[in-house]
Structure 1
Amino acid sequence: MCEQCIAKAVMVAENVIPGFHLMQATQGSRHWKKGWYGLVEVNDPTLVFEGPLLQDPTHGWSDDAINAMSLEVQAQLGRYDESVEKLEEALVVDAGTGYRIVSACMEVGYNRKEDGFIHYWLMNYMATMANLAAAAVK
């Protein structure tokens, strides 16, 4: 039986990046804990990460705006950074898998020179796409 079935994964966003669905385990299994997210190409997740799935609260802000951010936004940014670090750990994958993920991200707009580290970009992008998918269902 596939890991997706064992974990009773639900779709969060189809083709969140080309070729990868973003799913979340509702039951959990040995490799995919309940509540964790997975990027799934076929049946088994290509990678799993704990989450939470969060948008960058300072996305698109100028340096001046970031320097003047409130304590509330600083706290949100701290939670975002913690979540991104968990994703970074999950992104330690074999070369072929890494190539597929990076290529898919580039197809939808990731640019290393402009966007920086991929794990920061990918977390924000997945959270944004998940929010759009949820809004479309309502």
Structure 2
Amino acid sequence: MPHGHSWFDVLLGTFYKNAESAAHVFSAPVNEDGVSWVAHEHISLQHVFAAIFVLILITIFAMITNAKIKNTEDAIVPEGQLSIASFVELITQATYGQLAEMMGPKAARFFLPLIGTCAFFIL
């Protein structure tokens, strides 16, 4: 794949190209070479589509985990293999453990939703 292209360009085709063209038209400041004054690079929407993709994945993971937790009989006994629900629980416990060591259990419980969401988004 050439520089400046990604899988979003291939999979979304004309929609991606139209969105990138619209961003190029509506974004200012751009110099005569077509690069932005801020980063001195061509304007790209790869980071936007990647963030949307990650948001969709996190939403699907949350819905699957929520369905598993709502069924209390199945939620008590852990599964024998790695699943989406056990992966989410593992990351949540690891994040909470790090927070509890750094700021204490009370503050960790308070900040876990914010920092845990950031941790999932980054992973």
Q: Name whichever structure is richer in helix by fraction.
A: 2
| TM-score scaled by length of structure 2 | 0.27
Higher relative contact order (CA 8 A, sep 6+): 1
Q: Name whichever structure is richer in strand by fraction.
A: 1
From the CA coordinates, give the structure whose radius of gyration is larger.
2
